[in-house]
Amino acid sequence: MFFALWPDAEVRAALESLARSCVAQTGGRAPEAANLHLTLAFIGEASTSGVATLREVGRSAAAAVPPFALILDHIGAFHKQEIAWVGSSGANESILALANELATRVTSAGFELERRPFHPHVTLARRARTRVLDAMHGGALSTPIVWNVSLLTLAASTHAQGVPRYDAVDTWPLGGRPG
């Protein structure tokens, strides 16, 4: 289980195109277009009652943060993991507020989160074989992707024949009123 932002069709198409370009220049494997997302909080396994709790966490966290624009304008890499990604060159206070809101609520509900710092990004390629920043023109995108973020998603991950699949369990509008 994890909380994430899922792109709309237009942003997904731009990310898919960028992922194909990245793979062409660095090698590796791009995620399936339907799997492109930005993880905000990774939970791991959850029981049925845990999922119900996570739904409440998602609803209340989404209500606390208004919709926002996320500018994806920088290509980077986690070289040890051979992962190429796209993110923002500058801090985006809204995504940080949403991630912090989720972290606070998830841990208060008794779940553990990863301890590494939050680094908002969308994975473009796994097993990238060459230096991503060199291959991708120093990391700057010539045409930034503007993502108007308006929904929070709770997703579940499954694997079939070694291929991950992510399914939305629930979604909530940002800035909505808690019920």
H helix count then E strand count, the chain: 4, 8
Instruction: Tell whether 106 is covered by a domain.
Output: yes
- Runs of H (alpha helix) within the chain: 9-26, 48-63, 93-108, 132-135
| Residue range 95-126, pLDDT digits in tens | 999 999 999 999 999 998 888 888 999 999 98
| Model confidence, pTM | 0.90
Instruction: Tell whether 138 is covered by a domain.
Output: yes
CA distance 107 to 20: 37
| Residue range 153-179, pLDDT digits in tens | 999 988 777 777 899 999 999 996 544
Answer for the pair 74, 88: CB distance below 8 angstroms, yes or no.
Answer: yes
Instruction: Tell whether 57 is covered by a domain.
Output: yes
User: What is the average per-residue pLDDT within 120-145?
Assistant: 79
Provide the domain count of the chain. 1
Is the predicted pLDDT of residue 129 greater than 60, yes or no? yes
- Give residues with Cβ within 8 angstroms of 4, minimum separation 6: 37, 38, 39, 40, 152, 153, 155, 166
Q: Which token pair is 23?
A: 């793979």
- Give residues with Cβ within 8 angstroms of 36, minimum separation 6: 6, 7, 12, 15, 16, 19, 122, 123
Instruction: Tell whether 175 is covered by a domain.
Output: no
More confident residue, 154 or 140: 154
| Residue range 30-81, pLDDT digits in tens | 999 999 999 999 998 888 889 999 999 999 999 999 999 999 999 888 877 7
Give the residue numbers spanning the domain of 142. Answer: 2-160
User: What is the average per-residue pLDDT within 11-30?
Assistant: 92
Is the predicted pLDDT of residue 137 greater than 70, yes or no? no
pLDDT at 135: 53
| Residue range 82-101, pLDDT digits in tens | 888 999 988 899 999 999 99
Instruction: Tell whether 42 is covered by a domain.
Output: yes
pLDDT at 134: 57
Instruction: Tell whether 26 is covered by a domain.
Output: yes
15: CATH: 3.90.1140.10
Instruction: Tell whether 170 is covered by a domain.
Output: no
Instruction: Tell whether 38 is covered by a domain.
Output: yes
